[in-house]
């Protein structure tokens, strides 16, 4: 039974990693939001399984909170945002997707090597997924660096938050409830502020291209 | 009732009240009143801590010990003086049409919320709450950086939002690892993130996990300290936002972030029994000091230049705390206090000077002394003070840091001296023509508030001669607490 459960947890974690790769190479904004929603759902799935096995009630709460926030509320907000900004069908030009994938793979190997000596100290059932979580953090980071538009950058940021949540479940069965609520509040306020920003940026530059935001340099 | 509740209850209430009436003319005075009340509460708290020793509040979620009590007082004090400075400053900005009533409401409300997040970050015992409030401090100020809606300010704010967000995410991963290490030692997991609990068991924390955790925590909170190479947001955010915000960002937020690093360092030192954390901090500190001094020469914008000077001084403090030991820690804490006071005083004078000249470009600001001697002298004395001229206190703290470095890390001393020399040349050669010579600036409609400038500089001068016994006692206790070496 426990072997099956831990395989299930690993399966969810690998789905999250695959989705992180998919986001890295996805050019359509609308599809990025879909991928983000699916990633949130996979996080909910993995958390629920861990909660079921360990009978930790607070993990059920945080799974419910994640479902509400990352599968329903934030994607709804993002859909509204891209509708009002009229960028629903925007396609971004991404250079050299194969190179990006190879850098991603190197990051994954690096993350596994960093996490390996640590994860064996963890007693949790999901300790094997710590490496995957760290890999997802680095992949989201890579995605944010390579994007030139505001909305994909924010989605990269949100995906990093998903990965951090996965790391918390796999290392320690989740952070204390107070902290988790605080983090959720920060994410919610952060996404609202980024929405305000996007309107300000577009009003000023008539586009959401971050390349306009590279004037402040040392000369 | 515990005065601690008032210390952060007052700014929270202030933020809510000003969210409703922040656009009215009297909002400026309300802002000052709330900041002053919060400073008063901090003073009562300090008196109580002197009388009764360290205290806890709300279970064990909040605590006051020698390390954070003086930072709470300092934060509340600079919060109050900046509110006083902001009264005439923001009035002029409003007259110039840069601030609409709606923006004023946002500004006043967020000013108080920002003070609230910093005070909670300083007093919380929970490493998770510390993270949450550090992120909240970014979120409250990010809309203020872009409040003028110019292309440059939008760019600065977006950079601030994304870079600090990513940076602080690394710190969250570090916090998760810290919790994982604690979970193995502290059986009841709910309180395993309380700093006092962690401190009690720090010798038993797993060294492998803790060393990785510290790397992430240092990188994460170091982004907010403004350590090179993760400093890119800092000069932009300081230069493009309203000057009162530059003053509190530079004088207070950077300190709070460094405070978070120090809390993590104490735990790491206890778990590792080695100088790993200190060595990392020495490396980042030296890199920041040297890189910032080189960047200083290339600046044209006066606020950007002083932002780079903040990076330099934060690097110097990080270096001092990295060295560790009673003297270097004492010097680091003294430098922290002096940098807050003097750098905010400089930003106050710079704010008035840029308003009078109508530009932030240094080559267009000339002869301040002729039009308003007080602003001119404020800027001149402030610059001399931050550059470490005796008899100002920075001379004492830098002298202590350099002599300790000479003893413990001889090869670093020439590097530091060179960097300090370069920044002296860079800043002094720019400030001198701004203050003296023929004038290009106009008088302002509202008289500037210069009392805060000279109060800060006076305190900076006093700390060069004489450190009051209570303050001295705290510094020494806090220096012992930080330990190291």
Closest-CA residue to B240 (of B326, B329, B145)? B145
Can you count the helices (H) and strands (E) in chain B? Answer: 20, 2
Q: Mean pLDDT for chain A?
A: 86
Give me B147's structure tokens: 């409040």
CA distance B160 to B271: 33
Residue A78 has pLDDT above 80, yes or no: yes
- Nearest Cβ partner for B136 among A173, A178, A186: A186
Residue B193 has pLDDT above 90, yes or no: no
Residues of chain B numbered 326-385 and touching chain A (CB < 8 Å): none
DSSP per-residue letters across B278-324: HHHHHHHHHHHHHHHHHHHTT--BHHHHHHHHHHHHHHHHHHHHHH-
Residues of chain B numbered 122-161 and touching chain A (CB < 8 Å): 126, 128-129, 131-133, 135-136, 139, 142-143, 146, 149-152, 154-159, 161
Up-side HSE of residue B216: CA atoms within 13 Å toward CB? 23
Q: Mean pLDDT for chain B?
A: 90
What would the pLDDT profile of A15-34 be if each residue is shown by its tens digit?
Answer: 999 999 999 988 888 999 99
| Strand B55-57 versus strand B62-64 pairing type | antiparallel
Quick one: closest CA in B to A153, which residue? B162
Please state the rounded mean pLDDT for residues B14-20.
92
Up-side HSE of residue B272: CA atoms within 13 Å toward CB? 21
Tokens 């778990």, residue?
A: B271
What would the pLDDT profile of B407-430 be if each residue is shown by its tens digit?
Answer: 999 999 999 999 999 999 999 999
- B387 within 8 A of B424, measured Cβ to Cβ: yes
Characterize A144-154 residue by residue with b for buried, 16 or more Cβ atoms within 10 angstroms of its Cβ, and e for exposed: bebbbbbbbbb
User: Within 10 A of B259 (CB to CB), how many other CB atoms are there?
Assistant: 21
Chain A hits for B232, CB-CB cut-off 8 Å, are: none
Chain A hits for B189, CB-CB cut-off 8 Å, are: 172-173, 176
CA distance B429 to B423: 10
Cβ-in-10-Å burial (0-12, 13-18, 19+) of B213 comes to: buried
- Nearest Cβ partner for A215 among B152, B162, B298: B152
Percent above pLDDT 90 for chain B = 56
pLDDT of residue B358: 83
Output phi, psi for B324, to 5 deg.
75, 180
CA distance A148 to A151: 9
Up-side HSE of residue A94: CA atoms within 13 Å toward CB? 24
- Nearest Cβ partner for A201 among B154, B166, B189: B154
Q: Is the model more confident about A90 or about A188?
A: A188
Helix (H) or strand (E) holding B64: strand B62-64
Chain B hits for A137, CB-CB cut-off 8 Å, are: 169, 173
Helix axes B302-323, B233-240, angle to 10 degrees: 140
* Residue B273 CB partners (closer than 8 Å, separation 6+): none
Quick one: closest CA in A to B234, which residue? A216
CA distance B440 to B358: 10
Output phi, psi for A59, to 5 deg.
-70, -35
Residue B195 has pLDDT above 50, yes or no: yes
Helices (H), A55-175: 57-66, 74-85, 97-119, 130-146, 150-172
Characterize B94-107 residue by residue with b for buried, 16 or more Cβ atoms within 10 angstroms of its Cβ, and e for exposed: beeeebeeebbbbb
Closest-CA residue to B264 (of B185, B331, B321, B347)? B321
Listed range (A18-22, A96-100, B188-192, B391-395) with the worst mean pLDDT = B188-192
Chain B hits for A186, CB-CB cut-off 8 Å, are: 132, 135-136, 139
What would the pLDDT profile of A198-208 be if each residue is shown by its tens digit?
Answer: 888 888 887 77
Quick one: closest CA in B to A179, which residue? B128
Q: CA angle B274-B280-B285, nearest 5°?
A: 135
Residues of chain B numbered 14-73 and touching chain A (CB < 8 Å): 61
pLDDT of residue A126: 67
Quick one: closest CA in A to B206, which residue? A121
**Which of A175, A194, A199, A207 best probes binding to B when mutated, by most B CB atoms within 10 angstroms?**
A175
CB contact under 8 A, A164 and B172: yes
- B56 within 8 A of B123, measured Cβ to Cβ: no
Q: Is the model more confident about A118 or about B218?
A: B218
Percent above pLDDT 70 for chain A = 95
Chain A hits for B143, CB-CB cut-off 8 Å, are: 193, 196
pLDDT of residue A219: 47
CA distance A110 to A184: 29
Chain B hits for A183, CB-CB cut-off 8 Å, are: 128, 131-132, 172
Q: Which pLDDT band, with edges at 50, 70 and 90, does B234 fall under?
A: very high
Residues of chain A numbered 159-188 and touching chain B (CB < 8 Å): 160-161, 164, 167-168, 171-173, 175-176, 178-179, 182-183, 185-186
Please state the rounded mean pLDDT for residues A144-160.
89
Quick one: closest CA in B to A169, which residue? B176
Residue B249 has pLDDT above 80, yes or no: yes
Residue A218 has pLDDT above 60, yes or no: no
Please state the rounded mean pLDDT for residues B461-474.
88
């Amino acid at each position: 039974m426990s072997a099956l459960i831990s395989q299930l947890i690993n399966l969810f974690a690998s789905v999250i990693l695959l989705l992180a790769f998919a986001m890295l190479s996805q050019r359509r904004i609308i599809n990025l939001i879909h991928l983000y929603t699916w990633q949130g759902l996979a996080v909910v799935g993995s958390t629920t399984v861990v909660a079921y096995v360990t009978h930790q009630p607070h993990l059920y709460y945080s799974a419910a909170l994640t479902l509400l926030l990352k599968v329903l509320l934030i994607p709804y907000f993002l859909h509204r945002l891209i509708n009002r900004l009229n960028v629903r069908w925007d396609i971004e030009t991404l250079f050299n997707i194969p190179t990006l994938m190879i850098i991603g793979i190197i990051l994954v190997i690096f993350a596994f090597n960093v996490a390996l000596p640590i994860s064996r100290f963890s007693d949790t059932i999901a300790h094997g997924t710590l490496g995957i979580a760290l890999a997802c953090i680095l992949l989201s980071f890579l995605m944010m660096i390579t994007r030139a538009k505001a909305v994909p950058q924010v989605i990269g940021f949100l995906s990093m938050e998903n990965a951090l949540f996965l790391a918390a479940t796999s290392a320690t069965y989740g952070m204390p409830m107070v902290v988790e609520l605080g983090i959720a509040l920060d994410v919610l306020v952060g996404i609202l502020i980024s929405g305000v920003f996007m309107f300000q940026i577009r009003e000023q530059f008539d586009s959401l291209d971050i390349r306009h935001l590279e004037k402040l340099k040392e000369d | 009732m515990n005065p601690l509740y008032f210390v952060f209850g007052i700014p929270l209430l202030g933020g809510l009240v000003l969210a409703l009436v922040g656009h009215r003319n009297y909002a400026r005075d309300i802002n000052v009143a709330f900041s002053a009340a919060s400073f008063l509460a901090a003073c009562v708290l300090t008196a109580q801590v002197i009388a009764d020793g360290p205290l806890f509040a709300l279970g064990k979620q909040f605590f006051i010990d020698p390390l954070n009590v003086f930072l709470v007082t300092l934060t509340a004090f600079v919060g109050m003086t900046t509110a006083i400075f902001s009264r005439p400053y923001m009035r002029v900005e409003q007259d110039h049409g840069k601030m609409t009533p709606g923006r004023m409401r946002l500004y006043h409300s967020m000013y108080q919320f920002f003070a609230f997040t910093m005070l909670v970050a300083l007093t919380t015992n929970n490493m998770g709450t510390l993270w949450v409030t550090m992120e909240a401090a970014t979120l409250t100020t990010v809309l203020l950086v872009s409040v003028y809606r110019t292309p440059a300010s939008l760019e600065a704010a977006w950079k601030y939002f994304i870079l600090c967000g990513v940076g602080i995410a690394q710190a969250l991963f570090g916090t998760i690892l810290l919790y994982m290490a604690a979970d193995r030692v502290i059986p009841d997991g709910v309180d395993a993130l309380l700093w006092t609990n962690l401190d009690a068991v720090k010798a038993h924390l797993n060294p492998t996990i803790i060393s990785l955790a510290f790397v992430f925590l240092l990188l994460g909170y170091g982004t907010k300290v403004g350590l090179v190479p993760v400093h890119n947001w800092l000069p932009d955010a300081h230069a493009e936002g309203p000057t009162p915000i530059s003053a509190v960002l530079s004088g207070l937020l950077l300190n709070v972030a460094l405070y978070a690093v120090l809390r993590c360092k104490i735990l790491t030192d206890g778990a590792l029994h080695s100088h790993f954390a200190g060595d990392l901090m020495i490396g980042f500190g030296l890199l920041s000091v040297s890189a910032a001094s080189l960047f200083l020469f290339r600046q044209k914008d006066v606020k950007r230049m002083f932002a780079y000077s903040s990076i330099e001084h934060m690097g110097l403090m990080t270096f001092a705390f990295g060295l560790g030991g009673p003297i270097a820690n004492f010097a680091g804490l003294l430098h922290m206090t002096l940098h807050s006071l003097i750098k905010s005083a400089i930003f106050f004078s710079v704010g008035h000077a840029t308003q009078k000249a109508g530009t932030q470009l240094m080559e267009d600001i000339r002869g301040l002394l002729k039009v308003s001697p007080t602003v001119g002298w404020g800027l001149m004395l402030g610059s001399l003070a931050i550059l470490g001229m005796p008899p100002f206190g920075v001379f004492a703290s830098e002298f202590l840091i350099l002599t300790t470095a000479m003893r413990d890390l001889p090869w670093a001393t020439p590097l530091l001296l060179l960097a300090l020399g370069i920044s002296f040349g860079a800043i002094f050669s720019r400030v001198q023509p701004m203050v003296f010579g023929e004038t290009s600036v106009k008088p302002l409609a509202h008289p500037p508030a210069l009392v805060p400038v000279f109060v800060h500089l006076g305190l900076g001068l006093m700390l060069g001669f004489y450190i009051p016994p209570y303050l001295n006692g705290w510094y020494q206790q806090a220096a012992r607490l930080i330990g190291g070496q």
